[in-house]
Structure 1
Amino acid sequence: MDVIVRDYGLLESALARPRASIFGQDAYPDPHVKAAALLHSLTRNHALVDGNKRLGWAACRTFLAINAQWISAPEDDRFDLVIRVATGAMADLDDIAAQLRGWSHP
């Protein structure tokens, strides 16, 4: 499958979001909130022609793995989370992070 980027600016913005800071402080204080911001931005910004939800989940999961957090959740539950984030049914980063945190283990 070829990945076709529709908007490089949106992709760059989504990938930069977890590193955002406000007045010198991290805007997103822990890895789960950073991962939630990444998932939210990649699935909602539609930077790709196709595959935004897949990229969002893969990036979120990889980000947590890099930060020594592994996700264990049934595939249906993971799918449901990504769909809720992508459709805007779940937009609060703290709620998304709480779900990710509940599935995470070191």
Structure 2
Amino acid sequence: MDRELVESIHLHLVDHFSGSEDPLEPSGVKDYHLLESACGRPFMTANGRDLYESDFEKGAVIFHGIISNHCFYNGNKRTALLSALYYLGENNIWVDVCDDEEMYEFTRKVAAHEITERREDEINFIVDWLERNSRRIVKSDKYLSYNALREILARFGFELTEINGRIEVSKDGAYVATILKKGKQGREEYDPVYLAELRKRLGLTVDQGVDSGRFYGEKGVSPELNEYMQIRGEVFRRLAST
């Protein structure tokens, strides 16, 4: 979840509310340093381990960071919420157990620092709320042929080479990984489970700023964002006037 992705989510909201009674005006990034900080914090490490290990923890820190840092001139609550929903959705987590009123009040209280007595407890509270109001969904990668996978990986600087019946993945001339040669001729499609694991091995997941839209070469993240906006439209409309 990098700065560019969060900016694109903010711009999606700008377009969505353009011409409405509550447009995001002025829009845009107010402080790039604070935005970089909010985007980088969920993926910080210490002694070789993630400080925030679970997807719920990372989603909570993304939400808390954007909403607290006031990175944008306008729409910080909406951008924080949509960014968190998108990140969790990319990791097969759907926040749909709560109703609109509960999600609105939760977001409003987080922004106003009203959820806990001590601010150092806010992240844990958000994590707990997300866990209680979410469910796992099946939102997997697509099936890909060998040629399609090779073309996608080439866009990220990887090269596939067949050596002694194996397919080696290299980048900048250095070996990175070995992948299966699917089918008798190595042309059977790669299934979603295998592709998801391969993306993790190659550092091509949303944690590293490569969401599924970017990986598959789709233009932007609008289809997914539109889905969240349609389902939770009332929440975003109320946040616009809060």
Q: TM-score band, normalised by the shorter chain?
A: over 0.9
- Aligned partner of residue 33 in structure 1, secondary structure: helix
Normalising by structure 2, report the TM-score.
Answer: 0.42
User: Alignment partner for residue 80 of structure 1, among 77, 102, 105?
Assistant: 105
Q: Unaligned stretches of 5+ in structure 2? A: 1-13, 15-23, 137-242
- 1:95 corresponds in structure 2 to 125
Cα displacement string for residues 32-84 of structure 1 (whole angstroms, at most 9, x for unaligned residues): 11111011000000010000000000011011001100011211111111111
Partners in 1 of 2:78 and 2:46 — Cα distance?
A: 29
How many residue pairs get matched? 106
**How many Å apart are 1:25 and its aligned residue?**
1.0
**How many Å apart are 1:23 and its aligned residue?**
1.7
**How many Å apart are 1:17 and its aligned residue?**
1.3
Matches within 5 A, 1:33-52: 33-52=57-76
Structure with the greater alpha carbon radius of gyration: 2
Partners in 1 of 2:74 and 2:101 — Cα distance?
A: 21
Matches within 5 A, 1:1-106: 1=14, 3-72=27-96, 73-90=98-115, 91=119, 92-106=122-136
- Aligned partner of residue 109 in structure 2, secondary structure: helix
Q: Which has the higher helix share?
A: 1
Which amino acid in structure 1 is aligned with residue 110 of structure 2?
V
Q: Post-superposition, which runs of at least 4 consecutive aligned residues in structure 1 deviate over 3 A?
A: none
Partners in 2 of 1:104 and 1:26 — Cα distance?
A: 22
Partners in 2 of 1:81 and 1:36 — Cα distance?
A: 12
Normalising by structure 1, report the TM-score.
Answer: 0.93
Partners in 2 of 1:60 and 1:96 — Cα distance?
A: 11
The alignment's C-alpha RMSD in Å is 1.2
